[in-house]
Amino acid sequence: MERDEVKQFLSPSPAISDRIIAWLRSENVPASSIKLDSHWISFTVPISQAEQMLKTEFFNFHQQDQQSTAIRTLGYSVPRDLHPHIQLIQPTTQFGNLAPQRSFIFKPKTVTSEQLAAGCDVTIIPDCLRDLYGIDNTTTRPEWRNRLGISGFLEQYARHADFDEFLRHYAQSHTDANFSVVSINGGQDDQHSMSDSVEANLDVQYSIPLADEVLATFYSTGGRGPVVPEITHPDPTESSNEPYLEQLHYLLSLPDEDLPAVLSNSYGENEQSLPPSYLNATCSLFAQLGARGVSILFGSGDSGPGSSCVRNDGTNQTRFLPGYPASCPFVTAVGGTYGINPERAVSFSGGGFSEVFPRPQYQDQAVKGYLHHLGSRWDGLYNAIGRGYPDLSAQAANFIVRDDGEWISVGGTSASTPVVAGIVSRINSARIAQGKPRMGFLNPWLYSQGQTGLTDIVLGSSTGCQQNPGDAQVRNASWDATEGWDPVTWLGTPLFRTLVKLASSDDHV
């Protein structure tokens, strides 16, 4: 679907829009500041007027150990007759912690010269992934319809100097590759930041060479998303959640020719750490991007079935904790593996079942088979009718990365996600060369024709629920890799040549 078609499909009835705008005008919001864009309305007013409109009071919240303040409120109110028509108002209860936070990077460490010279069973470089997944060299040219997007949040900046040095060592046939940077919501491009940029550097250093001859854009998005306190993040005024809403609004405003074909995201948090209204709003926007031909990839997380495994709804119930956005049924969640012969599920690979989003029809048969195999194990600890994830997997351990002039080794589904992004980008290249549209939303295809292009991972398991003091102690908490779908690796890892053949012969993707 094109941009205008999506907007028209989602727009509320004029009567509903008119009621919201009439309320704004009754509160003396200047007509010139009210902007209606499909099912979103934006406006600008002074804080004092916002307090009157929302029946609340805003305060300056000072974050401990930071030189910043945030003007926010802990709650707000709108007229009762408008409740059914307003999903959320932002920013109101959204807080930001300006300290850099780790995404899904797992234990980065400096590497030795021996490790740099070691084989693929010890360290991973792009050539290891090309050999393992059968990624052939291609002769494609950069194409605007196949732009590769890489998300940058939490003050992670992709460094050009590190990127160029990495290519000289490990992607010598791609030394002319580059990426542009787009700022969203005040996001920066700080090439001399004193903080590490391991995540951003990992993302560009693996996705771009594996994609091969692609227009790449790093979307640097500033700010923080809202947070619901939980045992691992008890302070409601401190958030390390990503500002997905701001990025999504920007991307959806772009004309079709400027949208990325693939969007790689190596970030996420516990599903319960975000307000339900925010979860539903952002997941709906991910669906809109998918409808416009964007393949959206997210790491499945690095906590196995959950981190603290304690619910934050006041019950303190022991429960496996799914991650978001991986749990959104309109994104493709990427789990993790390690080892070459055989390839196994890595213990930190995140997976499970959403507590918010129901299981979509496209994965119903695959997930039901796993649940039958699981039987009564873990009853009461997960939502058996929720969206299951991940959707596929790739290598996720011992990646060599260049950061701030040093060679380091990292792991996590932060590593597997850009690998899959590069592969999907190549599949798009093959389809576009045949005059076919890009892949777009991947999951219905992956769970049908595409699954024969994956290597089923049947060894290994994930672990969780015992990572920090205060966590719920669930003995042997884990998901096992099995034949068919499982919440560790799904059906497995990519077979590039088979996937290209399947995608190129399918006119209905």
Q: For residue 82, what pLDDT is reported?
A: 77
Of residues 228 and 468, the one with the higher pLDDT is 468
- Are 221 and 184 within 8 A, CB to CB? yes
Token pair in block for residue 415: 């590593």
Ranges 104-118, 183-197, 251-265: which has the least confidence:
104-118
Highest mean pLDDT among 10-19, 145-154, 269-278, 350-359: 350-359
Q: If pLDDT is split at 50, 70 and 90, which confidence band does 59 have?
A: low
Q: Once rounded to an integer, what is the mean pLDDT over residues 224-244?
A: 51
Partners of 409 in the beta sheet?
109, 400
Mean pLDDT of 252-261: 95
Q: Active-site residue among 199, 213, 230, 238? A: 199
Q: How high is the pLDDT of residue 226?
A: 53
Region at 448 (left for phi over 0; alpha for psi -120 to 50; beta for the rest):
alpha
Residue 164 pLDDT greater than 60, yes or no:
yes
Q: What confidence score (pLDDT) does residue 360 get?
A: 98
Residue 211 has pLDDT above 50, yes or no: yes
Tell whether the model's pLDDT for residue 41 goes beyond 60. Answer: yes
The H or E element containing residue 474 is none
Q: Which residues contact 467 (CB under 8 A, 6 or more apart)?
A: 303, 307, 308
Query: pLDDT, tens digit, for every residue of 83-128?
Result: 777 777 765 544 433 233 344 555 567 787 777 777 898 899 999 9
Q: What is the mean pLDDT of residues 491-504?
A: 95
Size of the chain, expressed as the number of residues it contains:
509
| Separation CA 225–CA 242 (nearest Å) | 5
- Determine the pLDDT at residue 47: 79
**Tokens 């194409």 belong to residue:** 143
Active site residue 213: no
Question: Comparing 160-169, 221-230, 418-427, 483-492, which segment has the lowest mean pLDDT?
Answer: 221-230
414 is catalytic: yes
DSSP annotation string for 289-338 = HHHTT-EEEEE--SSTT-SS-B-SSSS--B----EETTTSTTSEEEEEEE
The reported pLDDT for the residue numbered 21 is 84
- Condensed to tens digits (0 to 9), the pLDDT of residues 68-93 reads 445 555 566 778 877 777 777 765 54
- Specify whether 199 is catalytic: yes
The pLDDT value given to residue 410: 94
Q: Which pLDDT belongs to residue 262?
A: 99
Tokens at 320, concatenated: 């496996």
Among the ranges given (133-142, 166-175, 203-212), the one the predictor scored with the smallest mean pLDDT: 133-142
Contacts of residues 363-367 at CB distance under 8 Å and 24 or more positions apart, as own/partner, are 363/387, 363/388, 363/391, 363/443, 363/447, 363/485, 365/447, 366/447, 366/451, 366/484, 366/485, 366/491, 367/485
Q: Which residue has the higher pLDDT, 7 or 234?
A: 7
Under the banding of pLDDT at 50, 70 and 90, the label for residue 194 is confident
Please, are residues 91 and 72 in contact by the beta-carbon 8 Å criterion?
yes
pLDDT at 61 over 60: no
Contact of 299 with 269, CB cutoff 8 Å: no
Q: Which of 203, 213, 242, 271 is catalytic?
A: 203
Average of pLDDT values for 229-234?
Answer: 48
* pLDDT-derived band at 38, boundaries 50, 70, 90: confident
Q: Of the ranges 102-106, 133-137, 443-447, which is most confident?
A: 443-447
Mean pLDDT of 312-318: 90
Q: Where are the domains of the chain?
A: 3-85, 106-505
- Quote the mean pLDDT of the chain: 86
Taking alpha carbons only, the member of 147, 143, 126 closest to residue 135 is 126
* The pLDDT value given to residue 100: 32
Residue 307 has pLDDT above 70, yes or no: yes
| Amino acid sitting at position 426 | R
Torsion, CA 331, CA 281, CA 323, CA 390, rounded to 10: -20
Enter the CATH code of domain 106-505: 3.40.50.200
pLDDT number for residue 56: 78
Answer whether residue 64 shows pLDDT above 80: no
Q: Please state, in angstroms and rounded to a whole number, the distance separating the CA atoms of residues 101 and 41.
A: 31
> Out of 327, 414, 461, 478, which one is annotated catalytic?
414
Q: Which residue has the higher pLDDT, 323 or 36?
A: 323
* DSSP-derived pairing of the beta strands 332-338 and 295-299: parallel
Distance CA 134, CA 128 (A): 10
Cis peptide leading into residue 342 (ω within 30°): yes
Q: Which tens digit of pLDDT belongs to each residue from 272-282?
A: 988 898 899 99
Tokens 């790491």 -> residue:
299
- Binned at pLDDT 50, 70 and 90, residue 31 comes out as confident
Predicted confidence at residue 32, as pLDDT, reads: 83
Of 197 and 18, the one with more pLDDT: 197
**CA nearest neighbour of 286 among 258, 240, 327:** 327
> What is the structure's pLDDT at 419?
98
Quick check: 265 pLDDT over 80? Answer: yes
pLDDT at 6: 67
Q: Is the pLDDT of residue 224 over 60?
A: no
